[in-house]
Chains A and B, each alone.
Chain A
Amino acid sequence: MTLLHWLLVVPALTAVLGVPRLPRWVKEVNLVGGLGATFALSLAVAREFLAGRVPAAFADALRVDGLSALVLVLSAFVGLLSGLYSVGYLRRNEERRRRPRPQEPVRLVTPSRRREFDALVPLYVFAMLLVCMSNNLGILWIAVELTTLASVFLVAFHNRDTSLEAAWKYLVLGSLGLAFALLGTVLLFASARGSLGDGMSSLNWTSLVAAAGALHPYTLKLGVIFAMIGYGTKAGLAPMHTWKPDAYREAPSPAGVLMAVGMLNGAVYCLLRVHLIARAALGPEFSGGLLLGLGLLSVAVATPFILIQWNLKRLLAYSSVEHAGIMALGLGLGVEAATFGALLHMTYHTLAKPLSFFSAGTLAQLHGSSDLDVIGSGTLARTPVASTLFVVGALIVTGSPPFGLFFSELIILRAGFGGEHTLAISIFLGCLVLLFCGFFYQLGRVVLGPPPESATWKKPLAEKLDAGAATTLLTAVVAVVSAFYLPSGLLALVHAAAGVVEARP
């Protein structure tokens, strides 16, 4: 068994061990240990790649090049963070009681829900890793569908009216998007007109890129449009983003971060693979233009919704629509510097977004809801630590100067203004400024201001240093330190990924 096999076996095994009824500490050790081992294995795979080998398995159906290696490490990292935070999150939820209603159980987390959670989170990580390493477009599709199926019950976790609504919308929209992506895959396959044979390897990304000159242009274009709509739905690019705010609000924070960062990276990765085939066959304008358009639209659509937002986690969802848009836009520009900027953006976003999610999750747990009008203003006075961390997270994800996302956005902007899409980039810059203001307007409403009258307001739970708070602090350290110091290996992976994207035949 090679490293790649182990990288799939470990999270799958963790998922299986999550099913039986076991004492709580065993489950926690299993989840964190399994995801930690997965992260270590992904680092080992990346190291093998950097040493000059191309890890592959199953007759090249799985293959790790620079792009895969980067996304693989980022996904496994988010998986580990999610596992760590879920320990504290679930413990805290088990202590909290639901407001008593006659037909509902009093406990917030029932044992069967807990078992669901322990099995589905590693399964989700497994599917994400499979997405990142599959070279075969069919396997890629199967893995993306698996991520959707694994996450539906995580969205429905709290079993409220709104969770079921969110889960239903998520599943129907996600499956529809994936049906489109499947059609896109079939058409990409059809555009080769049988010249690649009909074995497993005929759907390999590497063989499609190699045969790009012979692909039938009309079929290919149709396939690219369908595949981009399909995988764009998973990435949450506008106008297919409508599931995102609902799902993020309802999903428990550890699952939310997997969707917002892990799945986002995975879906952008799929878009990029399709884009590279199209670019090799049709030149950069067609699919690059599609990516640019979808990206710009996402950034533009996210802006007004952030200004009128009424819920903390939905705010983060629209911020995630924005970041997906920035990545798509950077990749669509087709300039080498912008490509590097977009991949760097993906890296910094992965390192920074968990902080926002975890601190928002903590705030929501302490105040009993993530709706802004339930939380009330002046949280800085009532829950100082979580509020401060949330402000730091917001500074980073909105792209404020000393932090990484500022630099990656700057690189994309500079490359864009040097290219031919000046108008699009000007609109993009305007939206970024508005988004920044909007985010801080919302933040000011929640964090600052006088605390509400104590007689009418429910007192928040007291802050204490438990497992959840410790994980949030850890992610804060990661997010801040990464702005000033990226490990050289990670930077080498970003360069390797940009090299895969920019490699011209």
Chain B
Amino acid sequence: MTADDVVILCAAGMLVSVYLMVGQKALFVAIRLYGVQSVLLGVVAVAMALSEHRSHLFTSAALTIGLKGLLIPWFLMRVIDRIGIHREIEPYVNIPSSLLICLGLTIVGYRVSSGLAEADHAVTHHVVGVSLSMLLMGLFLMVSRRKAVTQILALLSVENAVFLVALGATSGMPLVVELGISFDVIVAVLVLGILVHRIVDRFESMDVSRLSKLKG
């Protein structure tokens, strides 16, 4: 198996993880799926680092696996454990139709990616196609679900998608920038977690459809 095959396989795995996230309701499964997705992203970075001899990608791979694959899922697990809510309630769009919509979004993502700078290069095309599809599906997940934790996971998947584009289309951002972005992501997750706590304390639920007093 060449490095390119590994990259395509992992990117496909990330796409599957988002489909699985859309296709079920248990929150802890969704969190694990996010963890798996991040580890796959890390493997993509390692494969690229090896095949293109870019050593700074090792650092970003380690960061991705450590922070997004382990630390953030652990933190989110703790959040749902402490507030004691484990399942998504009936989403606004039911699951079979959600999956069909996601299929459409994948086609759109691939279509858009075919015009990019290095689209004639097969690996880039697949990777960017997958990540644009993930981006669209993350957006869809965000508007169609009610629980705050699901929205956080959707946001984080969108963020993983952006990192995948960065790997596929540019072979990695400058290291300092990547460090800064990772730091911001961690802080954002902490802030989101604290806010979920406050919301649950106050509303005794983390159902975001309750947050609907402000209009006009």
Contacts of B184 in A (CB 8 A): 142, 145-146, 149
A194 within 8 Å of B by Cβ? yes
Task: Provide the A174-199 mask, 1 if CB < 8 A to any CB of B, else 0.
Answer: 01100100110011011101100011
Whether the pair B173, A156 counts as a contact (CB closer than 8 A) is no
Task: Provide the B193-216 mask, 1 if CB < 8 A to any CB of A, else 0.
Answer: 001001100110000100111101
Q: Which residue of B lies closest to A197 (CB)?
A: B174
CB contacts under 8 Å to B, within A108-162, are: 136, 138-139, 141-142, 145-146, 149, 152-153, 156, 159, 161-162
Q: Which residue of A lies closest to B176 (CB)?
A: A200
Task: Provide the A193-218 mask, 1 if CB < 8 A to any CB of B, else 0.
Answer: 11000111011000000000000101
Contacts of B169 in A (CB 8 A): 186-187, 190, 219
Contacts across chains A and B counted by CB atoms under 8 Å: 134
CA distance A182 to B183 in the complex (A): 14
CA distance A6 to B118 in the complex (A): 43
A314 within 8 Å of B by Cβ? yes
Whether the pair B170, A190 counts as a contact (CB closer than 8 A) is yes
Q: Which residue of B lies closest to A169 (CB)?
A: B211
Interface size on A, residues (CB 8 A): 51
* Secondary structure type dominating chain B contacts: helix
A245 within 8 Å of B by Cβ? yes
Q: Which stretch (B63-71, B77-85, B91-99, B109-117) binds chain A?
A: B109-117
Whether the pair A168, B117 counts as a contact (CB closer than 8 A) is no
CA distance A189 to B171 in the complex (A): 11
Given contacts A193-B118, A222-B112, A222-B116, contact A245 B174 (CB under 8 A): no
Whether the pair A179, B211 counts as a contact (CB closer than 8 A) is no
Task: Provide the B123-163 mask, 1 if CB < 8 A to any CB of A, else 0.
Answer: 00000000000010001001000001001000100110110
Contacts of A166 in B (CB 8 A): 214
A residues lining the B interface (CB < 8 Å): 136, 138-139, 141-142, 145-146, 149, 152-153, 156, 159, 161-162, 164-169, 171-172, 175-176, 179, 182-183, 186-187, 189-191, 193-194, 198-200, 202-203, 216, 218-219, 222, 245-246, 249, 305, 308-310, 314
B residues lining the A interface (CB < 8 Å): 54, 112, 115-118, 135, 139, 142, 148, 151, 155, 158-159, 161-162, 165-166, 169-174, 176-177, 180-181, 183-184, 187-188, 191-192, 195, 198-199, 202-203, 208, 211-214, 216
25 A-B contact pairs sorted by A residue (CB < 8 Å): A138-B174, A138-B180, A139-B177, A159-B198, A161-B202, A161-B203, A164-B198, A164-B202, A165-B211, A171-B188, A171-B192, A175-B192, A179-B159, A183-B161, A186-B166, A189-B170, A190-B116, A190-B117, A193-B118, A198-B54, A198-B172, A199-B174, A203-B173, A219-B169, A249-B214
